[in-house]
Amino acid sequence: ARAFAGCDAAAGLLASSALDERWKTDLPEFLGAFVAALARSFPEQLPLYTALLSHPRLHDRPQVAASVAILGGALLQAGVSVDTVGRRLVGLLEHPHPNVRSCAADALQHFPH
């Protein structure tokens, strides 16, 4: 039950970030630290956050979709499901909004070479 609560909390954070312009600067730093802490303390919850990348409701609004891409970058940095996350981010490169495409491209820079 705690894992689902965490997933709901992340979805709420991503949705609320669309209301605040700081998502462009603060959200990458916050989500990077959040995913790193989760990887240390609750690694079993990380697949739930990976699933957020596929959630269709989160792709409807450009700032939320950009936030999802930023989450993907944080997951890649932590080495979480890199193939799945990478595929989802590549899909976001085709999003109609340029900010989403830009965030996805930035996030893909964390893909391990």
**Over 60: is that where the pLDDT of 6 sits?**
no
User: What's the rounded Cα separation, in Å, for the pair 77 and 74?
Assistant: 5
Region 84-93: what's the mean pLDDT? 94
Threshold 0.85, pTM exceeds: no
User: What's the rounded Cα separation, in Å, for the pair 93 and 65?
Assistant: 11
User: What's the rounded Cα separation, in Å, for the pair 47 and 86?
Assistant: 14
Query: Domain coordinates of the chain in residue numbers?
Result: 2-108
| Cα dihedral 75, 78, 6, 2 in deg (nearest 10) | 140
Residues 6+ apart with CB under 8 A from 27: 17, 67, 70
The pLDDT tens digits for 32-47 are 888 888 888 888 888 8
Residue 87 · residue 49 · CB < 8 Å: no
Q: Which of 78, 80, 83, 58 lies closest to 69, judged by CA?
A: 58
